[in-house]
Structure 1
Amino acid sequence: MPNDHRLRRLVTGPATYRWKVHHRHSRTDPCAEVLSVYAEGCRVPLRLVFRAGEGRYVADGWWYSGCVTTGDGRLLNLREPGTVRRLTDTARARGLLPGTGETDGWPLFDAQFGDEG
């Protein structure tokens, strides 16, 4: 069985990143899927946190691990390199990379579907 906690490599033009996805449980906050992206040579990752909430759903054992959705047919699988590439490009364009710590991932989710809302 593969190790899901290993850092995967993503090359986007001249930039190289390492990334991983994990599910987070908390006593005080809803469950979350977390995509951590490390810029080459940077020790602080950008953590895109997708917390469950009204109209925002994470797998939480009900369907494919690493998936986030709004329940209206829009779904991203955070374990797919193409999805990570698009989210990374959007994060870089918004000045979130290199690593800036933890941020809400849902605005970047919306941007993937043309809703900057």
Structure 2
Amino acid sequence: MTRSHIRRLRIADADFVCSVRGSAAGVVPASVVFAAYAPGRRLRMRFSSAPAEGRLAGDAGLGHGSLRTADGRWINLHLPAVMQALVLAALGDGRGDDVERDGWRVLDAAALPVPRAAAP
């Protein structure tokens, strides 16, 4: 897996340590794992590339931590607001801890921030 970037965030009254890791070069399908850990909490979400479905992740020609959704949106997993939205969605899904989730399903349930319009 490619190197991880650690970020500390306060989410839902807990201090989470969040990281984003890409799959090793040549692994098929390419994927990205988003992990968030807090005392008593271990959340992992895997985003695997599925080009036939329009979903790209990992070293599938994208920058580290970037996703392309089936509807053409670009998501940067390193943004604190995106991390927070994913953690809140995972905490609310009732699946508990220590379960690797399908990141795409968590992303579909997450309340992502609205992208800012580009300055003129």
TM range (shorter): 0.7 to 0.9
TM-score norm. by structure 1 comes to 0.75
Q: What's 2:43 paired with?
A: 46
Q: What's 1:12 paired with?
A: 11
In the TM superposition, residue 100 of structure 1 has moved relative to its aligned partner by: 2.0
Gaps of 5+ in 1: none
Q: Which structure 1 residue ranges, 4+ long, deviate > 6 Å from structure 2?
A: none
Report SS of the residue matched to 2:36.
Answer: strand
The yes-or-no answer on 1:108 pairing with 2:113 is no
Aligned pairs (5 A) from 1:20-39: 20-25=19-24, 29-39=28-38
Q: Is the 8 A contact 1:23 1:34 kept in 2?
A: yes
Report SS of the residue matched to 2:4.
Answer: coil
Q: Which moved more, 1:14-23 or 1:25-34?
A: 25-34
Aligned pairs (5 A) from 1:63-82: 63-82=62-81
One-letter amino acid of the counterpart of residue 104, structure 1: D
Q: Is the 8 A contact 2:48 2:56 kept in 1?
A: yes
RMSD (CA atoms) = 2.6
In the TM superposition, residue 113 of structure 1 has moved relative to its aligned partner by: 6.7
TM-score norm. by structure 2 comes to 0.74
In the TM superposition, residue 49 of structure 1 has moved relative to its aligned partner by: 0.2
- How many residues are paired up? 108
* Cα distance per residue 1:15-66 (max 9 Å; x no partner): 1111100101377740101101112244xx3210000013211141623210
* Distance in 1 (alpha carbons) for counterparts of 2:43 and 2:35: 6
Q: Is the 8 A contact 2:22 2:31 kept in 1?
A: yes
In the TM superposition, residue 70 of structure 1 has moved relative to its aligned partner by: 1.9
Q: Is the 8 A contact 1:46 1:96 kept in 2?
A: no
* Distance in 1 (alpha carbons) for counterparts of 2:92 and 2:54: 26
